[in-house]
Structure 1
């Protein structure tokens, strides 16, 4: 089977590997679609803090079941999506239902080889029927779930003012699900094309481009009060630190980004606002179900979000083009 490996940063190699043999509690999937995530781009550029090379990337996937244990409820031919955060079920986080931050978590495409391949074995507990959605949509559930999880972490509700800093796919997901909760959403980004996309396809309430007057514009939008909930989805340490000043008194700051750096902030400013500071990692099945329900109801513009496609065989040659801002990539899908 064809498999694409990230050997070292910026070095992708295609090779033939034997088709895997599933264990007694594993599903053998014929991979059909793989979404390219910011995590994959960071792996490619060498900026992913949880990874050792070489690695087969890819954790946003859908496919067709080739074989499955009888007790799984899956049958050959079923369309399926994968929960790529393989949790242990035993640790302190899992015992609280917080499988997204399992102590022993193994994320496909990060801690263990992922879906840039034609066949993949996955423990049956993490494979689910993709009912009422297309294979393309099923491969987009994971990144949207990260945004849905962040919105749930931030307890966003109707009437609140929400700021999403970083209008990439994860930020867009946070904007989508904040709007579905009835919040007024503003997106902040350096890229005008991303902001225009949010305005046109996500129907956000306002957009602000980062520049010398951005703080003044955000202040004017909120009568000087700033935002009840701020989401950082930039992947930039300086931006994460700056975001504290956009949180209203009594507000919440949700950091969805992860960076290698230490993050610092002004303690007096933090305390006078009584800021609630939250990390948001991955997602749970509750968040996946939220996204699937929204997709089935037509509440997620998946056709617009999927801006680019490429076959698996072309990934070594074409993957680097996804880093080029002029390409206007929002979500690229690899076809296997």
Structure 2
């Protein structure tokens, strides 16, 4: 069985791997239909993802079909179409027993810490499968990306009379925007790339956008838009330590700042501003099982429109050649999806 392996940074190759054995208790064997490509995959390719290990079969945004289930599995059966929750947790550590399965002390993310879905078949804990009778495989492959934004917005907990600023309109930022809008809060988006901001305005229906400029005038633009109140919730989805450090300037009094992007660099800021405004600083890692269920329901019931998301699609055999081009902003990639089978 063929698989795509990231042997080392910037070096993919096709390898042969054995087909999985019959599933054991609590397990399911799944056929991978679609794999979404996201910022984690790009960072792993570039060698900038702190949790990524090599060599690795990537792929954690997955639309799959169940092929077989092991003893004791009752939540899925052969033939079910599912999204995969790729965060494999131990269920026994202190974090897991308190319900924080997204930050398990022994956490393994498919395609990052352990091999993922760029192969036809593999085995996964059946409890990590989320069924939909109505979504297609492309939509199911989007659920994990949306889950990251969903969880980040839940962490910031915006209210309908509040303002959310989303910094960064890449795929994770776009997923944050979706759930900021669903919260009923006013949503404003800041990015350096006007092409992305145009997408946000035209395809996502967000009226207020700000383009970052070298002269720093974007803070004044945000101040003007909010009447000087700034943001009740600011979500930085850039993964840039400079942006994350600067994000405090956009947080209003008693506001919440959520870091959903990841950086390998130190983040530093002057404490008096944070202290004076009594800000709350939050990290957002991965997502919870309930986030996946919420997202599938939102899509099925028409509250989330997935049509603008997928801008590039390739077959399994064409992925390696296409991948480097997706890193270039001029290609306009929002979400690339690989058809595995």
TM-score by length of 1: 0.98
- Give the match for residue 24 of structure 2: 24
Deviation at 1:37, TM superposition (A): 1.1
Q: Does 1:296 align with 2:339?
A: no
- Give the match for residue 267 of structure 2: 263
Mapping 1:63-212, distance limit 5 Å: 63-73=64-74, 74-211=76-213, 212=215
Find the aligned partners of 1:119 and 1:24 in 2 and give their Cα distance.
15
Find the aligned partners of 1:250 and 1:2 in 2 and give their Cα distance.
53
- Whether the aligned pair in 1 keeps the contact of 2:85 and 2:129 (CA below 8 Å) is yes
Deviation at 1:70, TM superposition (A): 4.7
Higher mean C-alpha deviation, range 247-256 or range 306-315: 306-315
C-alpha RMSD of the superposition: 1.1
Find the aligned partners of 1:251 and 1:60 in 2 and give their Cα distance.
32
Gaps spanning 5+ residues in structure 1: where? none
- Whether the aligned pair in 2 keeps the contact of 1:28 and 1:67 (CA below 8 Å) is yes
- Secondary structure of 1:197's partner? helix
- Secondary structure of 2:135's partner? coil
- Give the match for residue 228 of structure 2: 224
Gaps spanning 5+ residues in structure 2: where? none
- Whether the aligned pair in 1 keeps the contact of 2:130 and 2:293 (CA below 8 Å) is no
4+ residue runs over 3 A deviation: none
Counterpart of 2:289 (choices 281, 285, 288) is 285
Higher mean C-alpha deviation, range 141-150 or range 284-293: 284-293
- Whether the aligned pair in 1 keeps the contact of 2:6 and 2:45 (CA below 8 Å) is yes
Find the aligned partners of 2:133 and 2:195 in 1 and give their Cα distance.
33
- Give the match for residue 50 of structure 1: 51
Find the aligned partners of 2:304 and 2:310 in 1 and give their Cα distance.
11
- Whether the aligned pair in 2 keeps the contact of 1:184 and 1:204 (CA below 8 Å) is no
- Give the match for residue 4 of structure 2: 4
Find the aligned partners of 2:288 and 2:150 in 1 and give their Cα distance.
10
Q: Residues 301-335 of structure 1, C-alpha deviation per residue, up to 9 Å, x if partnerless?
A: 21111111111111121111110111100011110
Q: Residues 60-100 of structure 1, C-alpha deviation per residue, up to 9 Å, x if partnerless?
A: 00111111125322222211221100011111111111100
How many residue pairs match? The answer is 336
TM-score by length of 2: 0.96
